[in-house]
Amino acid sequence: MSDLRHVFAFSLIAVALATSEVIRGRAYIFKAVPNGLPSQIVGSIDFEQTGSFLKLNGSILGLAPGQHGFHIHEKGDIGNGCLAAGAHYNPHKLTHGAPDDSNRHVGDLGNIETPPDGFTPISVSDSLASLTGPYSIVGRSVVVHEKIDDLGRGTSDLSKTTGDAGGRLACGIIGAVEEVTVEATTAGLPPLPLELPQGSGASKLASCLIFAPVLLRNFL
């Protein structure tokens, strides 16, 4: 009986290793319109979450060359020149900081850099901001600022709350797009042990757990 339990536990581990959930989101980025409604799309950002790892990929047009503060703000409202997005998303009530700091806002993603031609590639990764869980950023906003975020290292009063990154140039609401279970590989799965009694309930369950991802893939 203890052998069967081991097989069962092993099968669960094998399935966990072979599949991982990937969650995707997207934000269309609008140019900030003070006292008005946003209407001009200047970019888009795709979000991809695998486990606790979040990757942002996209681009924005029309920013001035140089570095721009880049954050997740708490509200999913991009009105009033992006001011309606509220403050940096900070559910743990910490101090503004750099993405690598332990004391930082969840929304603190540092800076993006615009080259001289004005086409800004977005390639940012983070392990704190997440599309899932109680502090999900889905339905909140991404905001691009006028100035560089000093990452909480500045001397101004605003350094510890906003990084003194200045006005808001563009923003977009993060929406959930897709949740999929991705199989990394099935090649490394261990074969079923030969000594497993065939036809027992445990062996059927173990077989299902191991081969379900393969069957699913073949049918989809």
Residue ranges binding Cu ion (CB under 5 A): 71, 143
Residue nearest Cu ion (C-beta atom): 71
101 Cβ neighbours under 8 A, 6+ residues apart: 108, 151, 152
For Zn ion, the closer of residues 96 and 145 by Cβ is 96
For Zn ion, the closer of residues 4 and 87 by Cβ is 87
Of 75-104, which residues contact Zn ion (CB under 5 A)? 88, 96
Supply the minimum distance, in Å, between the C-beta of residue 98 and Zn ion.
10
Supply the minimum distance, in Å, between the C-beta of residue 27 and Cu ion.
14
Supply the minimum distance, in Å, between the C-beta of residue 108 and Zn ion.
4
Strands (E), the chain: 19-31, 41-50, 53-60, 66-73, 108-114, 120-126, 141-145, 168-173, 175-183
Q: Which does 143 bind (CB under 5 to 8 A by kind): Cu ion, Zn ion, none?
A: Cu ion
Side-chain-side CA neighbours of residue 124 (13 Å): 28
**Catalytic residues, which ones?**
71, 73, 88, 96, 105, 108, 145, 168
Binding residue (CB under 5 A) for Zn ion from 31, 68, 73, 105: 105
For Cu ion, the closer of residues 143 and 173 by Cβ is 143
Q: Any contact of residue 73 with Zn ion (CB under 5 A)? A: no
Q: What radius of gyration, in Å, describes the C-alpha atoms of the chain?
A: 23
Residue with the two structure tokens 């997740």: 72
30 Cβ neighbours under 8 A, 6+ residues apart: 38, 39, 40, 41, 42, 78, 170, 171, 172
Q: Which does 68 bind (CB under 5 to 8 A by kind): Zn ion, Cu ion, none?
A: none
For Zn ion, the closer of residues 18 and 83 by Cβ is 83
The SS3 of residue 12 is helix
Q: Any contact of residue 108 with Zn ion (CB under 5 A)? A: yes
Burial of 28 (0-12, 13-18, 19+ CB in 10 A): middle
C-alpha 84/C-alpha 111 separation (Å) is 21
Supply the minimum distance, in Å, between the C-beta of residue 90 and Zn ion.
6
Supply the minimum distance, in Å, between the C-beta of residue 49 and Cu ion.
21
Q: Which does 31 bind (CB under 5 to 8 A by kind): Cu ion, Zn ion, none?
A: none
For Cu ion, the closer of residues 81 and 213 by Cβ is 81
Nearest one of 134, 182, 192, 152 to 19, comparing CA atoms: 182
- Chain-centroid distance, C-alpha 206: 33
Residues that bind Zn ion (CB under 5 A): 88, 96, 105, 108
